[in-house]
Structure formats: C-alpha cells, structure tokens
Amino acid sequence: MAKSGSWAWWTIGALSVLALATCDTSKPTQTSRRVETWTPQERAAFAKLKSEPRVRDILFDKGQAVEWNIGVFDDGTRRYGFGQYVCEVLKEEGALRSDTQVRIVDIAKVVREKVPPKAANLGTVDCASLRPSYAD
C-alpha cells in the first residue's frame, strides 16, 4: 500500500518532467533586439557564449541596465560563479564595458511562466567588480 500523499509526489514529478519536456533544449538561436547595432566584439562574445553547453538561450538587449541575460536550467544553486565566467568571456572578446552586468536566468521558468528574465533571476553579476549585483 502506498503512503498517504505519494500521489502528490508522483504528480509533482510528472508535472516537472512535462514542464521541462516542453522547453526547447536545442542550442540557442540568436535572441536579441537591434542586432544590427552590435559591435564585432559583441557578436564574437555572443557566439562564444552560445557554444557553452550549459547555455540554453541568450538575450542581449543593448542599452539596458542588464544587457546580457543568459538562460540556463535551474539546478537549485545561485549562479554567481557562472555569471563571473560570462564576464570573463565578455572581457576576452572585448565586449566588456565599465557598467556591464550579467543576469543568469532560469530558462524553463521564462518559457513555462512567460515571465521576463528579471523575474527568473538566478544571479546577477557586476562585471567591473565580479561581485553579485543587487541593484537589479
């Protein structure tokens, strides 16, 4: 005989699998606004980040307070370390500015709940200091 409430765990598990199954797990496509205004350095940084296996999607929204939104699957941890890595890639490619901030977002939440990246934030990093940013 199953324990009382086991149906709830099965239902939660089944819904979680269904939610992730509806997410496109293929490599990201170029997601941005005003692509024609990108510099060659921003294009190179985007291409390098797009090839990273953990990255599911990228929203580069030039001119916003947080320009780089990097979509990953949520594994239950804060993603400041990964945000620091993204900052290093931007620096290597020459796409880093003094005010650059990077936001790591839960891509499944963005897709499933249709929320903006800020509402699915797993960690934001100020690239100048490589420290977590709470201004977001």
Please give the average per-residue pLDDT across 106-121, as a whole number.
95
Q: Which residue, among 62, 71, 48, has the nearest Cα to 101 in the 3D structure?
A: 62
pLDDT of residue 106: 97
pLDDT tens-digit readout, 50-95: 999 999 999 998 889 999 999 999 999 879 999 999 999 999 999 9
Using pLDDT thresholds of 50, 70 and 90, give the confidence band for residue 34. low
Mean predicted lDDT score pLDDT of the chain: 81
